[in-house]
Amino acid sequence: MLYYLHQLKGVIPVLGLFQSSVFRAAMAAMTGFLISVFFGRWFIRFLHRHRALERTEKGDSERLVEIHREKRNTPTMGGIILLAAWIGATLLWAHPRHRFTWLLILFTLGLGALGFIDDYIKLTHAQKKGLSARGKFLGQVLLGAAAGWFLYSFPLIPGEANESVSTAIFLPFYKDLYIPLGVFFILLVILVTAGSSNAVNITDGLDGLAIGCAVMVGVTFAIIGFPVGDKPMSEYFFIPHVPGAVEAAVFAAALVGSGLGFLWFNCHPAQIFMGDTGALPLGGALGLLAVITKQELLLFLVGGVFVAEALSVILQVASYKLRGKRIFLIAPLHHHYQFKGWAESKVTVRFWIISAILSLFSLVTLKI
């Protein structure tokens, strides 16, 4: 909404800054952080009063339940803090009439609603663990299909000549090599967003782990959004030019700021957990950012921690079913290291370090 203040720059020249995408991204990050911190304090007290507290005794491993015993009665559904700050900052600083702004907002809120239903069932039905895996996945697929259909019907890169480019997947390190997918582009969007959403949800098992790694991925896509959205810069880096991708960068910056604000309360020992209300939309939005910036395969690199966490679960289940043996002490991977005796804070910080290194390397690949 503040974007239109630039129209008054003839009267107050400094208001011309509100047209600058870099300025708006920086302010979105700052606004998201402030909303998270100030709203978070009140919301945590609200959740305590209404007994919206995590029940760690519902875990599948007795040893894990014992390790996390001190986390009992910690408020959950903290994703509401994240979403309020994230969407609020985006509405304030992104272009309010751009299609990417509303696509990202509505998609994120859709996954947030799905996660809220899951968390609500867990809190109100003592014998249930939330939505069934099938029901949750169906919701993710439907939302991904809706986003994919929109981007297929209204191409990322307008123009009849660019139709195959808009629905193509680009191969890293090969600047002019891409695979046109046509209508199967919708399937790609489903796979990327649902996979990313579930991977972040799996990673969300230690204080600050998922949100810290997501912030680093968000920083990467916020930076990438600028050259992708600027034609001269995209030509310099030999990457696809997507008009309007700077609005995705503003959205990603709002994610970073609100995520840091949430981390203020979620760092060890956590005062609140994000729950599926935060984890599902966080992962899904990162996937959609990768699609909009035409960096779907790069997501596997920059989100390497999330990929490793998801793979650890897949490999563990497959190995046990096929061989009757486990690869890890427990899956996902972060709990494996806890079982090896690592302190929770050590696991989290080391995963953050890996995520930071992957983010830096991912940015370097733009010039390779």
Give 7 or 288, the one with higher predicted confidence. 288
> Which pLDDT score, from 0 to 100, does residue 53 have?
83
Residue 118 lies in a domain: yes
User: What is the rounded CA–CA span in Å between residue 289 and residue 296?
Assistant: 9
Residue 81 lies in a domain: yes
Which pLDDT band holds residue 59 (cuts at 50, 70, 90)? low
Strand partners, 226: none
Range of the domain at 88: 2-294
Q: Is the pLDDT of residue 176 over 80?
A: no
Residue 135 lies in a domain: yes
User: What is the rounded CA–CA span in Å between residue 155 and residue 294?
Assistant: 12
Q: What's this model's pTM, rounded to 2 decimal places?
A: 0.95
> Which pLDDT score, from 0 to 100, does residue 111 have?
98
Cα 286 to chain center, whole Å?
Answer: 4
What confidence tens digit (pLDDT) does each residue in 310-368 have?
Answer: 999 999 999 999 999 999 999 999 999 999 999 999 999 999 999 999 999 999 988 77
Average pLDDT over residues 179-194: 96
Residue 349 lies in a domain: no
- Could you tell me if 37 and 264 are in contact, meaning their C-beta atoms sit under 8 angstroms apart? yes
What confidence tens digit (pLDDT) does each residue in 215-265 have?
Answer: 999 999 999 999 999 999 998 988 999 999 999 999 999 999 999 999 999
Residue 342 lies in a domain: no
Amino acid at 233: M
Q: Which residues of 202-229 are buried (b: 16+ CB within 10 A; e: fewer)?
A: bbbbbbbbbbbbbbbbbbbbbbbbbbbb
Residue 331 lies in a domain: no
User: What is the rounded CA–CA span in Å between residue 2 and residue 15?
Assistant: 10
Q: Residue ranges of the alpha helices (H) in 167-274?
A: 185-203, 209-229, 231-237, 245-266
User: pLDDT averaged over the chain?
Assistant: 93
User: Measured on CA atoms in the order 97, 102, 103, 104, is the torsion positive or negative?
Assistant: positive
State the CB neighbour count (10 A cutoff) for residue 26. 17
Residue 368 lies in a domain: no
| H or E segment to which residue 37 belongs | helix 21-49
Phi, psi (deg, nearest 5) at residue 180:
-65, 135
Strand partners, 170: 178
Please tell me the total number of residues recorded for the chain in this structure: 368
Number of structural domains found in the chain:
1
Residue 328 lies in a domain: no
Q: 3-state class of 179 per DSSP?
A: strand
Which pLDDT band holds residue 8 (cuts at 50, 70, 90)? confident
Q: Is the pLDDT of residue 6 over 60?
A: yes
Cα 18 to chain center, whole Å?
Answer: 26
Q: Is the pLDDT of residue 159 over 80?
A: no
